[in-house]
Structure 1
C-alpha cells in the first residue's frame, strides 16, 4: 500500500523550557529530604527497612538503589562501596538495583537533574551515599539498643552483624523491621578515612556474577514482555531528510509483520520479533524530502572548518595577555592546522527501548542516562505530565555518551510509535524499538568534526611570546535544553574545554571559536572536547619543547600551572623510565590532560610494524582522581579509556559522501583489536582530595602521547587523524 503523508513531519523536539536548574548547591535540599520524617519510603514487606538509597530485607540482603546509569563503568559498584563501608555491611550481602526516575530524590547533585555524565557519578554522590549508609547503620544500632536494653554507644557493627559485649547479636535482616521504625538521624556520624574498610581498598564488582552467567533480562536489548512487538525503522539516508510517502505492500507480506507506521525519524515496521521486522524494512519503498538535508561530503565540511580558523572568532574566556600583538612582534611564527573527524560511539549494545503506553501513562525499559530529560521529552510528546512517565533503568552495554541525549530522540521515537498505534485503535501493548548496528553507526550523534589552528610566536632566542588558538566545530549544546547553561556569549563550553584554560603558563594566550552548521547531529563522546583540545595542546607542547631544544617533560614542568598535573607527569615518567634508554626500535611520547576534575598523564611506548603502521607496545598511566573509592575499578577505567581513545587515534572516522555516511558496521568502522592493545601499567596517586571523575579522563592523553612518540621516532607531526590516513613506513 502506498502512503502519502500530508506534509513532512517535524522532528519531535523537547521544549526549551527552563526545566534544568544547574546547581552544585543541591546537596542540602536532597539530604534534607532523606532526613525529614516520612521520607523513608514504606517497607514493601513486613520486616523491611527501606530508604531512598538503602533497602534492607529480612533475608539479610542490602539493596543499594543506584541513581546513575551503569553502562560498564562500574558506577553501581562504586556507590555500593560507599554504602557498604559506612553501614559496615558484609560485601557478600550487598546487591544493587537502579533507582526509579524521580528527580526530587535521585538528582545528580552536579547538574540538578537525574542523569549520568561528565564523570560525576561518584563525585556528586560521595557524601550522599556515605550518609545514607551511616544513617541506616545508626538506625540498626538504635533498634538493637532498644531491643536489648543497652546503651547505643555499646553496640558495635561489623561485617553485617550487630553485636553487644553481653554476647547478644543480630543480623541486619533480623533488625530491619525494628530499624525502619527509628527516627532518621539528622547528621549521622561518618567514618574517618583511617576507619574505612572498603573505600580506597577493594570491593568486588556487583555486576560480575550476572554478566558472567548471562542473566536473563539484564540489558535493555534483552527485555521481553507478553504480546510485545519489535519495531525497526527505515531511517533517512541523509541527515535532516523526512519521509513524504512510502509503499509497504511487499513489507506486509513478511510473516510476523503486524503494522507499518510513519514517524518523523522514519518509517517503522512492527513485527512479532526482530528478524521479520528487519527483513520487512528492507522491502519498504520510502520517498524522502531532502530539502534541508545535509548533502555535502566530509571533505567539503573539513574545508569549511579550516577556512573558519583563518578568520577571527568568538573570544574564549580564560586567555591572558595580547597574543595578537605578541605574534606581530615575533621573530618567528609557526602555524599548525589540525583536523579531527566525526566519531561514532559504537557501544557494544546499540540503542534499544521498550515502551508500554495506554493513553494515560507510559512505562519505558532501557538504559536511560538522563532520566529527568527523558521524562520531560516523552511527557511533551504524549501530552502527559512527567509524573505519568515511568522509566525502568536497565544495565547498558556501553554508551560513551550516546545515551545522554539533550533531545531524548530515541525516547521520543518510541513514544510516537506507541501513540500512533493507540490512535489507530489498537490496544496497548509493549513495543521494543531496536537499532541495528548499521542504524547505530550511520545514525549520527557523532563526536563533532573539528578544525584547530594554532599560531605561536617566538623571539630570536626561541622563547614563546604568544599563542593564538582558533577552533571551528558544530556546537553540541546550541539549540538544546542545555544551551542556557553551557553556551555563554556564543561559546559552547564543550567545544573549547581544555584549551581556554590551558594548563601551561604562556606570556600571552588567546583562544577563539567558530560555530559551524550542519544537519549531522552531534553529541558528547567520551571526554567530549578534551578529545581534540588535549591532542592539540599536548602535541604543540612537544613542538615548543623541540623549538626550545628542551626535553618534553622538562619543558612541561617548567611551564605547568597545576601541582597535581605536574605530579602525574612526574609519576608516569618515573614509572615509564623516561630517563632510561629504550631498546632499538622503540620510541616514547608523553602527554598529560586535566579533565572532569581529574589529572592523567600517559607515556606511550611505540614501535613500527613492517608495513609502517604503529604498534603501541606499552602505556604507563598515572591518575590523580582524588580519593580512590575503588582502585581496581579506576585501573579498569584507565585501561578502557586508553583502549577506546587508541582505537579512534589508529583508524576510527565517520565520513560522508554527498551526505550519505560511508561506514555501516564494524567492518568499516573498525574497533580496536586485541593485537592493537598495549600493555597498560596504571598508577593511582594517593589523595585526600574529594573524588573526581574516572570514566573519561583516561582517554584524552593517549592520542597526543602516541603522536609525540611518532614525532620522536620520525620527526613527523600527525595533525590529521586517524593515523590510518598516513604512510609512516
Structure 2
C-alpha cells in the first residue's frame, strides 16, 4: 500500500524546520542598526515589549496564525496581550514556507516553533543575568519579564533586547513540560480575529498598487481547448478598458478597474478550438468507469484470500457506491497580483503553496527563485485549491505582457468551471459473513483518476487515492482492496481530506450493511471487529484503543440506543482514523428522513482524539467547520459535465449549507498527552456516512451515491 499526503508534504518542503534556525541578515538589513531583538527570522521583540511573530503557513480560516504564535509564546513566556502576528513571505529570512495542507501545520511545526521561543527565552534570561551580575539559574521568565528570584527585581523583555541581541542562540534549549504550559492547551482567541471581523484585514482583492491594471481572462469552456481567434473591437470601446491580449490561459482584458475588466470581457468574442474533450459528459465518464471495473486493477492491500473465502461464506453482501467530482468553491474567488520588472518579480497571492508556484513563475519570467518574492496573503478559504499555481501564473503572465503591475481577478463562474476538482470515483464491494454472522471476507474494487498522474507528480499513480479504503481498520481475515486508474480530461487536485472525503463514505456505509445483515447493532459490530493490538497500515500505525475511545465517546454523548427519537428519525454512526495526521474522529448524526427523499440533519455529536489539543477552542471550531463543509458536499454538491463543459456557474448550481440548515454540533475532545495531530481535515470524513447510516436507521433505505439528496431537493 502506498501513501502519500506525507510524501507530498515532504516533497514540497512542508516539514522544513529551517525557520527554527537563527537568521543572519545580509545587505542593507545587516548595515542598518536595529534596536529590536530578532533571534529568528520569524520572531522579533521590540524595546516597547511588543512581540511580533511571523506565520510561515497560510491563514485561510483554520486559525494557523494563532496556533503558531501560541507555540512560540509558550516557550518564550511572553505576555500574550503583547503578541501580534504577521504573515511571512518567501523572503530568505523566513526559510521555506512549505505547503499549508494535509492538516500538517501543527503536527510538523510545533516542536520547531517551541524551540524558537525557548531559544529567545534563554537569551533573555542570560541577558538579565548579565545585567544584574547574577547566575542565570536564579532568574525566571514569566509574562514578558525576567525576575531575579532572590531579590524580586525584574526587567521587561523590552529592556533586554539590546543585550540579548548580542548573544548566540543556544542550539538545544530546554523545552517546558506540558504540565507547565500556560498558553498551550488553553482556549485562545484568534489574534487576527478582530481585524477580520471589523473588515480591517487585507485580502488580495483589496490590494491596489500604483499604476496597477486589473485583468479578467476569458478561458475556453472545454478542458484542453485553445484560442482559435478573437474579436476585441467591442471590448476596446468599453470605458476603462486599456488592452486585450492573448495569454497562455485564454484572452485577457486589461482595464483600470475590476468592473471595466468584467464588462470588457462580456463584450469579447472568441472562437475556440475545443478539442476532443468537447464530446465528454458525465454519462460518458460513468460508462468509462464501469468498463474499467471489468478489468483488473492494482491490488493495494491483500490479507488472506478473499476470492477463496467469499464463495464459502454463509451470507454474501454486494453493493455499488459512487462519488462525484466536486469544486472547492472557496468564498473568495481566485485572485493574484504580480509586478514583473527586469531582474525582479513581486507577487501577492493567497497561496497555500508558494514554493510550488515558484517553478511556474521562473518559467514565465526567466528569473531565478532568489529574484522572486511571493507575499502570502490572507485567504478566503482554501481547501487545497490555493495550492495550485494557475491563478498565480495568470497574474505573472499578464504583468509581463503589459509591463505593469496586474491583478488578475477571477469571477465566480471562473472558479466553478476552471477548478482542479475532487476526483469522481466508482466502487464495487462484496463481503461475506460466516454462520455466526462474523465477517470473513471483504473485497473492495474502485476506479477513478489519479491525482499524481494527472499533475505529473513523481509518485506511483495510486499515491493519493487510497486513504479510507486500503487502510480499512477492521479485523477481517480475508481482505482485498484494488484500485483501477481511469483518467479523464477533467483536471483534478487535492480537495479537503482528498480520498478520505469519499472512501470512508463507502467503507463505513458498507460496514453498516454488514452489521444489518448480521443482525448486529452498528456500534457493537464496529467495536467487536477492531483488532486487539496496534497494527501497521501503510506507513502509519493504527491504534485500535484510540479508535474505540472516539466511537464510545461519540455514542455515549449522543445517547446511542438510549435517546428516544421521533418517528422518521434515525441515528447513524461512522468513524475515521486520519492516520496521515494522527487524528481519530467518530460522529453520530441525528437525522430526520422526510417524504420524497428529504433529509434534515438536526444534530451531530463528534468525538475527536487529536493528541494534545494545543488550542481546544480552535479544535472544536475546525471540527464544526469540517462538519458544515462535509454536510454541504454530502447533501447537495456535485460537478456535472455536458459537451465538455462544467454546468455549474454559481452557488445556485453548487449550493453550500446555509445557517437554517446547520445542525446543532457538539464536539468532545479526548484528553491526551500524545503529540498534537491535525484537525483541519479529519472532521469531514465521518459526516457523510453517519448521515447516510442514519437515513437507513430511519427508513430502511440505503443511500449509496453522493450527494445524498435527489436532484429536485438539492437546494441549501
Number of residues of Structure 1 aligned to a counterpart in Structure 2: 690
For residue 58 of structure 1, the aligned residue among 44, 47, 53 is: 47
Tell me if structure 1 keeps the 8 A contact 2:310–2:316. Answer: yes
Instruction: Give the Cα separation in 1 of the matches to 2:682 and 2:107.
Output: 14
Task: Specify the SS of the correspondent of 1:622.
Answer: strand
1:10 aligned partner: none
For residue 469 of structure 1, the aligned residue among 439, 444, 447 is: 444
1:564 aligned partner: 546
Tell me if structure 2 keeps the 8 A contact 1:471–1:496. Answer: no
Task: Specify the SS of the correspondent of 1:338.
Answer: strand
Distance 1:441 1:727, change over 3 A: closer
Instruction: Give the Cα separation in 2 of the matches to 1:224 and 1:727.
Output: 43
Tell me if structure 1 keeps the 8 A contact 2:15–2:109. Answer: no
Instruction: Give the Cα separation in 2 of the matches to 1:376 and 1:726.
Output: 42
Instruction: Give the Cα separation in 2 of the matches to 1:329 and 1:493.
Output: 33
State the 1:331 CA deviation: 4.2
State the 1:23 CA deviation: 9.4
| Deviation larger for 139-148 or 606-615 | 606-615
Instruction: Give the Cα separation in 2 of the matches to 1:147 and 1:459.
Output: 78
- 1:326 has 2:303 as partner: no
1:368 aligned partner: 351
State the 1:551 CA deviation: 0.6
1:311 aligned partner: 295
1:96 aligned partner: 85
Instruction: Give the Cα separation in 1 of the matches to 2:194 and 2:281.
Output: 46
1:445 aligned partner: 420
Tell me if structure 2 keeps the 8 A contact 1:454–1:467. Answer: yes
Instruction: Please list every run of 5 or more consecutive structure 1 residues that lacks an aligned counterpart in the other structure.
Output: 1-17, 109-113, 423-428
Tell me if structure 2 keeps the 8 A contact 1:327–1:333. Answer: yes
For residue 176 of structure 2, the aligned residue among 191, 195, 202 is: 191
- 1:720 has 2:697 as partner: no
1:8-36 Cα offsets, whole Å, 9 max, x none, are xxxxxxxxxx9996499976x737x7158
Instruction: Give the Cα separation in 1 of the matches to 2:176 and 2:379.
Output: 33
1:205-251 Cα offsets, whole Å, 9 max, x none, are 111111121115x2111111111111111111111111121110100
| Deviation larger for 664-673 or 148-157 | 148-157
For residue 34 of structure 1, the aligned residue among 10, 18, 21 is: 21
Tell me if structure 2 keeps the 8 A contact 1:53–1:129. Answer: no
State the 1:659 CA deviation: 1.2
TM-score in terms of structure 2 length: 0.92
Instruction: Give the Cα separation in 2 of the matches to 1:524 and 1:679.
Output: 29
Tell me if structure 2 keeps the 8 A contact 1:102–1:372. Answer: no
Tell me if structure 2 keeps the 8 A contact 1:240–1:520. Answer: no
Tell me if structure 1 keeps the 8 A contact 2:324–2:425. Answer: yes
For residue 631 of structure 1, the aligned residue among 603, 616, 626 is: 616
1:272-320 Cα offsets, whole Å, 9 max, x none, are 100010011011111111224353111221222133223221111x331
For residue 36 of structure 2, the aligned residue among 48, 57, 63 is: 48
Instruction: Give the Cα separation in 1 of the matches to 2:32 and 2:444.
Output: 59
For residue 330 of structure 2, the aligned residue among 344, 347, 370 is: 347
For residue 589 of structure 1, the aligned residue among 536, 550, 572 is: 572
State the 1:167 CA deviation: 4.0
1:526-570 Cα offsets, whole Å, 9 max, x none, are 100001111011001111111111110111011123211111001
1:206 aligned partner: 191
Task: Specify the SS of the correspondent of 2:168.
Answer: coil
Q: Superposed, which structure 2 residues align to 1:221-260 within 5 Å? A: 221-260=205-244
Task: Specify the SS of the correspondent of 2:173.
Answer: coil
1:144 aligned partner: 128
Task: Specify the SS of the correspondent of 2:464.
Answer: helix
State the 1:461 CA deviation: 4.5
For residue 602 of structure 2, the aligned residue among 614, 617, 630 is: 617
Instruction: Give the Cα separation in 2 of the matches to 1:622 and 1:20.
Output: 27
State the 1:69 CA deviation: 0.5
State the 1:633 CA deviation: 0.2
- 1:523 has 2:523 as partner: no
Instruction: Give the Cα separation in 1 of the matches to 2:22 and 2:261.
Output: 50
State the 1:676 CA deviation: 1.2
1:68 aligned partner: 57
Deviating above 4 A after TM superposition, structure 1's stretches of 4 or more consecutive aligned residues are 18-21, 23-27, 35-45, 102-105, 609-612
State the 1:383 CA deviation: 1.2
- 1:649 has 2:595 as partner: no
1:414 aligned partner: 395
1:361-393 Cα offsets, whole Å, 9 max, x none, are 111001121111111221122111111110001
CA RMSD between the two structures? 2.3
State the 1:71 CA deviation: 0.3
- 1:510 has 2:480 as partner: yes
Task: Specify the SS of the correspondent of 1:319.
Answer: strand
Task: Specify the SS of the correspondent of 2:317.
Answer: strand
Instruction: Give the Cα separation in 1 of the matches to 2:676 and 2:503.
Output: 24
Instruction: Give the Cα separation in 2 of the matches to 1:521 and 1:250.
Output: 32
Instruction: Please list every run of 5 or more consecutive structure 2 residues that lacks an aligned counterpart in the other structure.
Output: 1-6, 532-543
Instruction: Give the Cα separation in 2 of the matches to 1:150 and 1:552.
Output: 66
2:137 aligned partner: 153
- 1:264 has 2:248 as partner: yes
Distance 1:239 1:332, change over 3 A: same
